[in-house]
Structure 1
Amino acid sequence: MGSVRKASAWLGLVDDNDDERYYDDDNYAEGQDSGDAWVTDPRVKVASETAEETGRRIGTVTPDSFRDARGIGELFRDGVPVIINLTAMEPADAKRVVDFAAGLTFGLRGTIERVATRVFLLTPANTEIVSGEAPGRQTGGFFNQS
C-alpha cells in the first residue's frame, strides 16, 4: 500500500482492509479477467439492476470536459435514456458535447430535448417522452385573472 493510501486510511477517508486487491496484479493471475474489472465514474449515475431488468433505467451524466462524452455515448448506445447536465462545463466544451449528443441521437435515431438551461435529455428510438402538461388544458381558464 502506498504512503498516500496509508495516510488516507489513517484519516478514515478510505477503507484499508481490502484495498490491496485493487492494486495487485496477482488478482488477474488468479483467474480474473481484466475485462471484468471496471470502475464507475462518480459523475455517472445509472439505476439499479432491478431497473435494468424491467427496462426502466435513466442515466445522468455531469461531464467535466469533452473526454466524458464517451460515457454518454456508451449509455445511449445501450438504449438507456441519458440526462446531460452541462452546468459545470466551460461554454466551448459544453457546445462540443451538445454537438456530439446531437450527432449521436441522429445516428441512432433517437431524440435530444432541452430540459433546462444547459441540461439535455437524450432518448433512444424506442422511448416516448410524455409531457407534464394536462391534455386539453385551456390557456384562458378560471385562474387567468388578466
Structure 2
Amino acid sequence: MGMFQRFVSKATLNDDDFAEDEDYFEDGEEYAEPEGTDTDVSPIRAVAPAVDIARIVTAKPASFADVRGFAEKFRSGLPVILNLAAADDAARHRIVDFATGLCFGLHGDLNKISGEVILMTPHSVHLESQRPDGDSL
C-alpha cells in the first residue's frame, strides 16, 4: 500500500470506526443532551454601529503637525470635513497626501467639496451626489 493510500485510509472514516460507539448505548436507548445545556438558537439581530455616524468632525489644519487630531477621528469611523484655507500651499499638499493615504488605508473616500474643502468619508458612510434637478448621479 502506497503512502498516499495509507494517508487516505487513516483520514477517512470507515464503518469499523463506529462499531465501538454502537455498544455505548443500551438497546433502545437514545442519546439525550446533557441537562443544563441550552439547545435553542438565538435569532440573528443587527449589531448597533459603534460610531454615531450622525456626527461629522470639522478640522482646520494650518500645518502638517495638525493632522493627528482629524486622523484619529476618521480612524474611529467619523466623517471629517477638512477646511484647508489656513494652510499654505506646501502644507496643503502634505495634508491632502496624508488624507488620501489615510482614506485609502481605511477603505474610505476622499471627496473635493471646493478648492479648499475636502470631505473624508469612512467605508461605513455612503455619500450620495445629486444633480441640481434632484436626480442622483
TM-score (norm 1): 0.55
Q: Distance in 1 between matches of 2:130 and 2:81?
A: 17
SS at match of 2:99: helix
Partner residue in 1 for 2:117: 119
Question: Aligned AA for 1:135?
Answer: D
What do you get for the CA RMSD once the two structures are aligned? Answer: 1.9
Q: CA deviation at 1:136?
A: 7.0
Aligned to 1:19: none
Tell me the SS of whatever aligns to 1:113. Answer: strand
2:105 match: 107
Identity %: 42
Gaps spanning 5+ residues in structure 2: where?
A: 1-49
The reply to whether residue 65 of structure 1 matches residue 94 of structure 2 is: no
Runs of 4+ in 1 over 2 A off after TM superposition: 52-55
User: Higher relative contact order at CA 8 Å, sep ≥6: structure 1 or structure 2?
Assistant: 2
Does structure 1 retain, via aligned residues, the 8 Å contact 2:53–2:79?
no
| CA distance in 2 between partners of 1:128 and 1:62 (Å) | 23
Identify unmatched segments of 5+ residues in structure 1: 1-51, 138-146
Kindly indicate whether the alpha-carbon contact (under 8 Å) linking 2:85 and 2:116 is maintained by their aligned counterparts in 1: yes
Scaled by the length of structure 2, the TM-score of the pair is 0.58
Separation in 2 of the partners of 1:136 and 1:104? 27
